[in-house]
Amino acid sequence: MPIRQMKENSEQHFVIKPQVQNSMTQVQKNQKNLQNGKGPPTQNESQNAKINQHNSPPSKNRGRRRGRGGRKSDQSDIPMRPSSRPCTIVEKSMSEFPAIGKPVENGSVSVENGGNVCAMDMGFPSSSKSLRFAPRPGFGQAGTKCIVKANHFFAQLPEKDLNQYDVTITPEVVSRSLNRSIMAELVKLYKESDLGMRLPAYDGRKCLYTAGELPFTSREFNIKIVGEDDGMNGPKREREYKVVIKFVARANLHHLGQFLSGKCADAPQEALQILDIVLRELSTKKYCAVGRSFFSPDIRKPQRLGEGLESWCGFYQSIRPTQMGLSLNIDMSSAVFIEPLPVIEYIAQLLGKDVFSRILSDSDRVKIKKALRGVKVEVTHRGNVRRKYRVSGLTSQPTRELVFPVDDDSNMKSVVEYFQEMYGFTIQHTHLPCLQVGNQKKANYLPMEACKIVEGQRYTKRLNEKQITSLLKVTCQRPKDRENDILQTVRKNAYDEDPYAEEFGIKISEKLACVEARILPAPWLKYHDTGKEKDCLPQVGQWNMMNKKMINGSTVSRWACINFSRSVQESVARGFCNELAQMCQISGMEYNPEPVIPIYSARPEHVEKALKHVCNAASNKLKGKELELLLVILPDSNGSLYGDLKRICETDLGLITQCCLTKHVFKINKQYLANVALKINVKMGGRNTVLLDAISCRIPLVSDIPTIIFGADVTHPENGEDSSPSIAAVVASQDWPEVTKYAGLVCAQAHRQELIQDLFKTWHDPVRGTVSGGMIRDLLISFRKATGQKPQRIIFYRDGVSEGQFYQVLLYELDAIRKACASLEPNYQPPVTFVIVQKRHHTRLFANNHKDRSSIDKSGNILPGTVVDSKICHPTEFDFYLCSHAGIQGTSRPAHYHVLWDENHFTADGIQSLTNNLCYTYARCTRSVSVGKSFSPLLFILNQLALIIPIKHSDKFCLSSRVMFLIGNTNSVVGML
């Protein structure tokens, strides 16, 4: 059976009570506010909201890179999707959760008050106006106190009035850089006269900010901008623009002061935005701006990555409200840029071969065309004149064969002749094609050797493995080096000499913030009683399996091995399999040392045929029984083989696989074999270890009553993928009170949609009428079947949500949780704690003394378990930073946890200790891990699977029932990778 009964439905309905529709629609009408990170709408706006009777289309929000291929939404917000249908919550299977009420004729569940269960009945806020994030319940006290440094720099709040003006430029200009040039010319001409000596800050679009009022409320200016020299010895091109500046509003700095002191809950986003733009103004003029970061080849020498790409060093900068007041967050950044090479050298690097004398193949042309399309080039054959063009294509013919009409009589001239006569430029490499610039109707030809790539063009496409490796080598910095670079950046930026900062009265400290932190103790881990060591206390975030046995070892009776590596002989593969079998047995598993069939060797290009052959051969040998596990030996460099293999096995054959690289097969390492054994045990339904406190029922607000812990995330397509859906993954614990084993569900959803659409859904069945379903509902049912009890408490960890989407995600997904619970049983509403987990932030924590060995791990990072909930955290809300893992290389990134909703009334110590302890339950290694793998081990696996299995359709999908979790059968919980 499949993990979920997917219902084909062209229309996705998210049932929302009529009482809630006003609030949901109001969230839609206030998208602009939410996109700017603003708080809830005003009371008047809420009262004037109209009910929207139609579903809103999902927005195409830009995202951030996720792993090797995915993207996570970063700034844009997504509109709510209220349903036009009435709220009817129907019991899908009344036997799953015995209902207190009785079904009534229309299919709704009867409750005590005679009405339908809805968000309003549940005490859930009806709008973002009534929604207040959980306040901080106090500060944590657990753990060993210490001092750490954070890359936050105190910013003194200005005392001047901040004024906003609207800017209208006619004719309309799309380019921000041209807008800035126009405004720079305006300030240059009129600063001492019409602008009253004010030095305004400009966002490059519609907003202009000043410290103090301008001498007018509205004024029109005419500005002339001189274009580039076209090299024709004529007058330079000049264009005139009309600029209208109008007063809009004055920012309330008193409100900002009240917010920073904790006396006001709503952040004045307008004032914060102004201060942020002011502090970015000078850097925008000096560096190449990418998002909130600035890059320049002058900051540090660019490092080549291969194939015409290079990495630039830069810095991230953002103003943030914290408990210590305004803080400027500065961090080091890296980005990939196209190397400013002559085009002919660029394509030589791109193709990795000599192009100066060899004719290009068709595949070479295609690769060059893809690489150069949209790239800006400048001509080099006209002396000091460097006209810039954007490449639109590549000619199919070599330069020597290209001709074009020179007059109305259709007289033709070759490109070679034209450049010789017009510019005295002799084209040497006439066997190469020309670049096409301009549009299709009027395309111009430019010889490759006459063009150079313009500096400062960011590369946004996917990197290959070698480039990724090179980039990591460049960007990986030890904590001490990163701290020094950050301090050097602050000194080089010289904010005390910044004319814009001085104009607006902003003063920035040059010292890292010193913050009080605590190091939480590692939890005791329980192993099987038959091992020499029955329990274990991790040291500095790690331990090993020596003298220990898995607490629940699984059984592997029927397995086979397929070898895709030509360099691995059958005898070598057989020896490796024997060693692995012994390690599995030593670790506590029942593992048959003999495979079902002899090790089968195949070529990578025949992967599907080989896999089916092994399955059929094993099935014939086993007389209809199926394989339980397939070991796969892969070449070290296997291209798409790994993804193809996983796709076929996990979605078609229903086969659990464990892949091993050739280098590990030849060099049999005990530690490696032990780690593989851990993976196999979990995939086969076993458990490696559990928290001792969980077995002893000593975890606050988890051990007392049946508690289910959810983890949820969305993986977005990579850049350039405009049609592929986003992939939502939700996992939930299934073994209370241990909370170690997780079941997982995956669904495709709208392109770049961050809200998880399938948490709860309803559809119409011809026989049963309106039926309820969704991932939350299915996982609650599976928890009941696995434990014999229904969850009485829900803890929901949500990964990868930006601050601008907090309101939306909480309103939508908490409502889905409520509806899923109500659909199972009337009045069933367990208390929910909703926690956002962020890794895509730029706060870094450093040891106060890098020479103190007792305060750092082997990599020089802060110790695992370090938690911070003061000074650099939110002034009023319930958030904290936790570095739960030990560093390996580079600088550790603490996870930022934000408790948005807390009906379970966690203390600061309670949620921090629980979160830290869960980071020690990751099944695939004997180390504490960071948030991506911590609160739900299977979630990381599902997201990785979403990256390697291309989903090209917009319908929902599910993995094979043999690979994914079978509802009601907790022994089938597996991880795929």
CATH number, domain at 352?
A: 2.170.260.10
pLDDT at 720: 66
The answer to whether residue 288 is domain-embedded is: no
Confidence band, pLDDT 50/70/90 cuts, at residue 117: very low
How many domains is the chain built from? 4
List of E strands, 339-450? 376-379, 388-398, 403-405, 412-414, 433-437, 444-447
Do 694 and 654 belong together in one domain? no
**C-alpha to C-alpha distance for 805 and 798, rounded to whole angstroms:** 12
Encode pLDDT of 569-602 as tens digits: 999 999 999 999 999 999 999 999 999 999 999 9
| Whether 807 and 940 share a structural domain | yes
Strands 895-902 and 878-883: antiparallel
The count of other CB atoms within 10 Å of the CB of residue 78 is: 24
The phi and psi torsions of 969 (rounded to 5 degrees) equal -135, 85
Cα 337 from Cα 666, distance rounded (Å): 38
Instruction: Specify the pLDDT at position 254.
Output: 87
Is 671 found in the same domain as 615?
A: yes
Element (H, E) at 326: strand 325-338
Q: What SS3 state is found at 745?
A: strand
Helix boundaries (H) for 197-304: 253-260, 269-286
**Contact present, 553 and 589 (Cβ < 8 Å):** yes
CB 629, CB 592: distance < 8 Å: no
Same domain for 832 and 954, yes or no, is yes
Rounded Cα gap, residues 586 and 731, in angstroms: 30
Instruction: Tell me whether residue 407 is in a domain.
Output: yes
Instruction: Tell me, yes or no, whether 372 lies in a domain.
Output: yes
- Is the model's pLDDT at 815 over the cut of 50? yes
Q: 702 lies in a domain?
A: yes
User: In this predicted model, which residue has the larger pLDDT, 652 or 86?
Assistant: 652
Q: Are residues 755 and 673 in the same domain?
A: no
The residue type found at 283 is S
- CA–chain centroid gap for 958, Å, is 22
Position of tokens 């000499």? 497
Q: How confident is the model at residue 58 (pLDDT cuts 50, 70, 90)?
A: very low
Q: What is the CATH number of the domain that holds 760?
A: 3.30.420.10
Q: Are strands 629-634 and 559-563 parallel, antiparallel or unpaired?
A: parallel
Region 80-85 average pLDDT: 32
- In sequence order, the 6+-apart residues with CB closer than 8 A to the CB of 266 are 39, 40, 259
Q: Biggest alpha carbon distance in the chain?
A: 96
* Cβ neighbours around 630 below 10 Å, total: 23
User: How do 793-799 and 707-715 pair as beta strands?
Assistant: parallel
Q: Do 829 and 701 belong together in one domain? A: yes
CA distance 961 to 5: 11
pTM recorded for the entire structure: 0.82
Same domain, 591 and 605: yes
What is the separation of C-alpha 157 from the centre of its chain, rounded to a whole number of angstroms?
A: 32
Residue 484 tokens read as 């020094």
Summary mean pLDDT of the chain: 81
What are the structure tokens assigned to 661, written together?
A: 């690289």
Task: Choose among 175, 186, 238: nearest CA to 210.
Answer: 186
**What is the distance between the alpha carbons of residues 538 and 521, in angstroms, rounded to a whole number?**
9
- Amino acid making up residue 524: W
Residue 65, pLDDT > 70, answer: no
| 123 or 650, higher pLDDT | 650
Contact call for residues 126 and 848 (beta carbons, < 8 A): no
How far is residue 278's CA from residue 253's CA, in Å, rounded to a whole number? 15
Of the ranges 70-84, 100-114, 200-214, the best mean pLDDT one: 200-214
Strand, helix or coil for residue 718 = coil
Amino acid identity for residue 499 in this structure: P
Asked whether the predicted pLDDT for residue 822 surpasses 70, the reply is yes
pLDDT tens digit string along 346-373? 999 999 888 888 888 999 999 999 999 9
Q: How far apart are CA 276 and CA 501, in angstroms?
A: 10
> Please, which pLDDT band fits residue 228 given cuts at 50, 70 and 90?
low
Residue 680's domain is classified under what CATH number? 3.40.50.2300
More confident residue, 99 or 851: 851
Q: Which residues partner with 382 through β-bridges?
A: none
The C-alpha atoms of residue 867 and residue 880 are separated, in whole angstroms, by 7
The verdict on residue 479 lying in a domain is no
Q: What string of DSSP letters covers 449-483?
A: GGEEEPS-PBP-S---HHHHHHHHHHH---HHHHH
Strands 309-322 and 590-591 come out as unpaired
CA–CA distance, 307 with 301 (Å, rounded to integer): 18
Q: Which amino acid is at 41?
A: P
Yes or no: say if 63 and 74 are a contact pair by the CB < 8 Å rule. Answer: yes
Going 251 to 877 to 943 to 306, the CA torsion angle's sign is positive
Higher pLDDT: 153 or 93? It is 153
**What is the DSSP pairing of strand 793-799 with strand 832-838?**
parallel
Candidates 92, 16, 91, 100; CA nearest to 826 is: 100
Do 783 and 910 belong to one domain? yes
CA–CA distance, 208 with 423 (Å, rounded to integer): 45
Q: Which of 684, 718, 746 is the last residue of a domain?
A: 684
Contact 587, 581 (CB under 8 A): no
Residues 943 and 808 in one domain: yes
Of the three residues 434, 454, 474, the one that is the final residue of a domain is 454
pLDDT, residue 357, reads: 83
Strands 513-519 and 535-536, by their bridges, are: unpaired
Q: Are 96 and 784 in contact (CB under 8 A)?
A: yes
User: With bands split at pLDDT 50, 70 and 90, how would you rate the model's confidence at 28?
Assistant: very low
Residue 585's pLDDT is 95
pLDDT-derived band at 339, boundaries 50, 70, 90: very high
How far is CA 640 from each of CA 465, 880, 953, rounded to the nearest angstrom? 12, 40, 20
Residues 200, 163 contacting (CB under 8 angstroms): no
Q: Are residue 634 and residue 598 in the same domain, yes or no?
A: yes
Structure confidence at residue 118 (pLDDT):
39
Q: Which residue has the higher pLDDT, 392 or 125?
A: 392
Per-residue confidence (pLDDT) for residue 322, from 0 to 100: 95
Q: What is the DSSP letter of 966?
A: B
pLDDT of residue 354: 87
The whole-angstrom separation of Cα 319 and Cα 332 is: 15
933 and 948 share a domain? Answer: yes
Q: How far is the C-alpha of 158 from the C-alpha of 260, rounded, in Å?
A: 13
In a domain, 847, yes or no: no
**How does DSSP classify residue 424?**
-
Rounded distance, CA 645 to CA 604, Å? 9
Predicted local confidence at residue 866, as pLDDT = 96
Answer positive or negative: Cα dihedral of 701, 801, 66, 328: negative
Q: Exposure of 893 by Cβ count < 10 A (0-12 exposed, 13-18 middle, 19+ buried)? A: buried
Distance (Å, whole) CA 133 – CA 137: 12
Find the range with the poorest average confidence among 108-112, 827-831, 917-921: 108-112
Residue 941 domain flag: yes
Banded pLDDT at 940 (limits 50, 70, 90): very low
One-letter amino acid identity for 49?
Answer: A
- Classified as helix, coil or strand, 547 is coil
Rounded CA-CA distance 229/207 in Å is 31
Tokens of 903: 């009906």
pLDDT for position 655: 87
What are the backbone angles phi and psi of residue 518, rounded to the nearest 5°? -135, 145
Closest CA to 286 of 314, 318, 327, 319: 314
Beta bridge partners of 840: none
- Show the DSSP H helices in 321-464 as ranges: 343-351, 362-372, 415-423
Query: Of 251, 281, 302, which residue constitutes the final position of a domain?
Result: 251
Instruction: Report the alpha-carbon distance of residue 285 to residue 293 in Å, rounded.
Output: 13
Q: Token match 């070698």: residue? A: 466
**Angle made by CA atoms 182, 184, 188, in degrees to the nearest 5:** 120
Domain that holds residue 711: 690-839+897-967
Q: What is the CA radius of gyration of the chain?
A: 31
pLDDT at 485: 95
Does residue 377 share a domain with residue 238?
no
